[in-house]
Amino acid sequence: MYVLPLSPSTKNTPPLTRNFKVHFWHHASLGNPINPSTGITMGHEASGTIHAVGSSVTRVSPGDRVALEPGSPCRLCLACKSGSYNLCRKMRFAASPGSPDTQGTLCKFYVLPEDLVYRIPEGLGLDEAVLVEPLAVGVHSVKLGDVRAGETVVVMGGGTVGLLCAAVAGRFGAMRVIVVDVLEGKLEFARGYLGCETFLARGEESAEESAERLLRTFGLGVESVDTVIEASGAAKSIETGILVLRPGGKFVQTGLGKAKVEFPIVAMSQKELMVRGCFRYGPGDYDLAIQMLDKGLVDVKPLISSVTPFEQATEAWEKTSRGEGIKNLIQGVV
């Protein structure tokens, strides 16, 4: 890995260890289409070892093991200057097709500004450091939801981000954490991984029926659920989340699904809910995620299902496409 000194503009060059987007693999697009003549390097969840640094770099040195924050903001716009750099309209985020394309991290060398790489503690493996990125999403979500001690939190979606949101919510002091999903296999994993309560949503149910059954199942009244973190992006899940909340409750939309969905705006208004969007992570989220891993407050090892050498990377994509495992890592070129 190469590291540049801080500057308003830093050019990414192809990268280091990991992540694969199965949608990219099968459809060559995710929002913006990939140019078939140039292709794109995939990967945005990554860790690696510093290979070289610029002459002005002081935070890291060659040989340091680091987690990568994969988006470079412009540092000049209102969002950046106000501290919300994750909302920068000129963000160059790894593995993002567009004009111009931003290459991803799955390659031998990757260039980032020095403040976007984070030294990891000695006891933390590079494989675990890959999951700092989704854990930072969980940290950001829980902070936006202002989760407090003693609260009841419902997390809609039992994927990686949903599991990590639930894990962080528990560490922030939530008394009860309930994970909701449509797949019993995911809920079984959640129970074993987190020791949390789970709820199996039924495809044939309406959002109203699902919300009512959830409250009844856990003996919750209409004033019991303090915070909902929606981590699936599914339309019915969003509606269910709004309906289960108590008056004055908090709703955080972390999952991304269809661009437009029906939304229970009357219920939201009548209950005067605090509704927040959530996009990636912001200042301090990576640092806190690494500290939580270092102190054993969150364990990501059970989420790592396999590690595949770079030369067999296609096997990892196909494994993920078949729904096998939670996180199938690709070990980058050394």
Tell me the pLDDT tens digit for each residue of 60-105: 999 999 999 999 999 999 999 999 999 999 999 998 887 778 888 9
The CATH number given to whatever domain includes residue 42 is 3.90.180.10
Q: Are residues 126 and 248 in the same domain?
A: no
46 with 70: CB under 8 angstroms?
Answer: yes
Res. 4: pLDDT tops 60: no
- Tell me the whole-structure pTM to 2 decimals: 0.91
Same structural domain for residues 139 and 249? Answer: yes
Q: How many other C-beta atoms are found inside a 10 Å radius of the C-beta of residue 37?
A: 5
Pick the range with the lowest mean pLDDT from 31-35, 199-203, 264-268, 329-333.
31-35
Domain residue limits at 177: 135-277
Whether pLDDT at 228 is above 90:
yes
What is the DSSP track for 194-205?
H--EEEE--TTS
Phi and psi for 42 in degrees, rounded to 5? Answer: -85, 170
More confident call, 334 vs 255: 255
Residues 168 and 196 occupy one common structural domain: yes
Looking at the chain, the whole-number percentage of residues with pLDDT higher than 90 is 77
In a domain, 104, yes or no: yes
DSSP three-state, residue 222: coil
Residue 291 lies in a domain: no
Contacts of 45 (CB under 8 A, 6+ apart): 18, 19, 70, 105, 130, 131, 133, 134
Phi, psi (rounded to 5 degrees) for 61: -135, 160
Q: Are residues 152 and 250 in the same domain?
A: yes
What pLDDT score was predicted for residue 217?
98
Report DSSP state, residue 297.
Answer: S
| Class of residue 306 by CB neighbours under 10 A (exposed 0-12, middle 13-18, buried 19+) | middle
Phi and psi based region of residue 192 (left: phi greater than 0; alpha: psi -120 to 50; beta: remaining) = alpha
Same domain, 321 and 258: no
Q: Does residue 285 form part of some domain? A: no
Residues 242 and 206 occupy one common structural domain:
yes
* 147 assigned to some structural domain: yes
Assess if residue 283 is contained within a domain. no
Q: Are residues 116 and 154 in the same domain?
A: no
187 shares its domain with 313: no
Report the side by side order of strands in the sheet with 225-230: 197-200, 176-181, 152-156, 225-230, 245-253, 274-277
Quick: pLDDT tens for 141-172.
999 999 999 999 999 999 999 999 999 999 99
Residues 110-136 have a mean pLDDT of 97
Residues 76 and 207 in one domain: no
User: Residue 154: what pLDDT?
Assistant: 99
The reply to whether 288 falls in a domain is: no
Are residues 89 and 68 both part of a single domain?
yes
Domains in the chain, number: 2
Same domain, 107 and 220: no
Q: Mark whether 125 and 139 lie in a shared domain.
A: no
Q: Domain holding 187: CATH number? A: 3.40.50.720
Average confidence (pLDDT) over 18-39: 60
Kind plus residue range of the DSSP H or E element containing 298: none
Query: Does the residue 284 lie in any domain?
Result: no
pLDDT at 136 > cutoff 50? yes
